[in-house]
Every structure is written in structure tokens, then in C-alpha cells.
């Protein structure tokens, strides 16, 4: 039980670090990493929202391509 508590604390710490870098995730790479974190936490609706934001920012980028792939997987 205590180890789960520590794991959750570490996960939240990572999320806070990711969000604090580069203007709270305005960079497509930062958003992608945050979306991946949300996936790992089981928060798929928020992950999809972040992936969609990446696509809106730059639809032709490699990050957008990967975001589309992740959305497809999450909607299966």
C-alpha cells in the first residue's frame, strides 16, 4: 500500500515537471509527453484532447502524425 502511494507521488511529480517546462506544455513535444502520461494514468479523454491540440497546432508535423495514431488506438 505504501509503495503505491510513493509511485503515485512520483507520477504526479513527473507531471508537474513536464507542465512546468516550456510554458506549461505549449510545445507539441511537451503536449505529447503530457498526453502519454495521461494515457498511463488511465485518463484517456484528456489524452485525446491533448493529442487533438497537437494536431491543431501543426497538422503536418511528425508530432501530429503520432498524435493521430494514438487517438486511433485510444478510440478502439
pLDDT tens digits for 43-76? 999 999 999 999 999 999 999 999 999 999 999 9
Say how far apart CA 36 and CA 56 lie, in whole Å: 18
| pTM for the model | 0.68
Binned at pLDDT 50, 70 and 90, residue 37 comes out as very high
What distance in Å separates the CA atoms of residue 24 and residue 7, rounded to the nearest whole number? 23
Q: CA torsion angle for 22, 54, 31, 36 (degrees, to 10)? A: -160
Measured over the CA atoms of residue 44, residue 28, residue 55 and residue 73, the dihedral's sign is negative
Q: Phi/psi zone of residue 22: left (φ > 0), alpha (ψ -120 to 50 degrees), beta?
A: left
Domain residue spans in the chain? 2-74
Higher per-residue confidence, 23 vs 69: 69
Could you give the CA distance from residue 41 to residue 62 in angstroms, rounded to a whole number? 24
Amino acid at each position: 500500500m505504501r509503495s503505491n502511494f510513493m509511485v503515485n507521488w512520483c507520477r504526479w511529480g513527473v507531471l508537474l515537471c513536464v507542465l512546468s517546462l516550456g510554458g506549461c506544455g505549449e510545445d507539441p513535444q511537451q503536449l505529447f509527453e503530457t498526453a502519454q502520461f495521461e494515457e498511463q494514468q488511465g485518463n484517456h479523454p484528456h489524452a485525446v484532447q491533448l493529442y487533438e491540440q497537437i494536431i491543431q497546432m501543426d497538422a503536418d508535423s511528425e508530432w501530429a502524425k503520432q498524435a493521430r495514431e494514438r487517438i486511433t488506438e485510444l478510440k478502439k
